[in-house]
Amino acid sequence: MTPAIRLISWTLLAVALSAATAFLVVRVASHSADHHHGSAGGHDPHGPDDSFHAWLHERLAITPEQETKLAPIEEAYERNRALLADRISEGGRNLAEALGKAPVDRTAVDLALGDIHAAQGELQRLTIGHFLEMKEHLSEEQAGQLLQWTRESITHDH
């Protein structure tokens, strides 16, 4: 295998792994973001985020008091999630640009992949931290249900 083909193969593999990680993070994050949208009244009732908000209210029976405590947590999470999603998108654009050069700019590819991976890692930490912070304002039973749903989302069991 020539060095150019090895480089392209490695790059495509790295992109595929990045995409898989991003999918997982976005899937979990998009479900959690709905609670914020629902509380603000600005969500699309047919959008993907509606499922998490509906789940919270139907299955967890969130009280008005809990809703009040969770709202600022959701707002902060959504702001930070959006910033990280923008960083991931920018990294993707930079990666695509680097891959479009002839010859491929290996340094730019590595930098873009590093930026994407760093933002994805931060988003994973933010999302899990967000769930753990939410859990503190739920009853023991509600918290258990939230953590079970989170585990299932990560392993695609639901």
Mark 110-139 as b/e (b = at least 16 C-beta within 10 Å). Answer: eebbebbbebbebbbebbeebbeebeebbe
CATH number of the domain encompassing residue 91: 1.20.120.1490
Q: What is the pLDDT of residue 50?
A: 52
User: Over the stretch 35-70, which tens digit does the pLDDT of each residue have?
Assistant: 433 333 333 333 334 566 667 677 888 899 998 999
Of 10-19, 116-125, 143-152, where does mean pLDDT reach its minimum?
A: 10-19
DSSP single-letter state for residue 42:
-
Count of domains forming the chain: 1
Containing domain of residue 75, as a range? 3-155
Calculate mean pLDDT across residues 123-149.
92
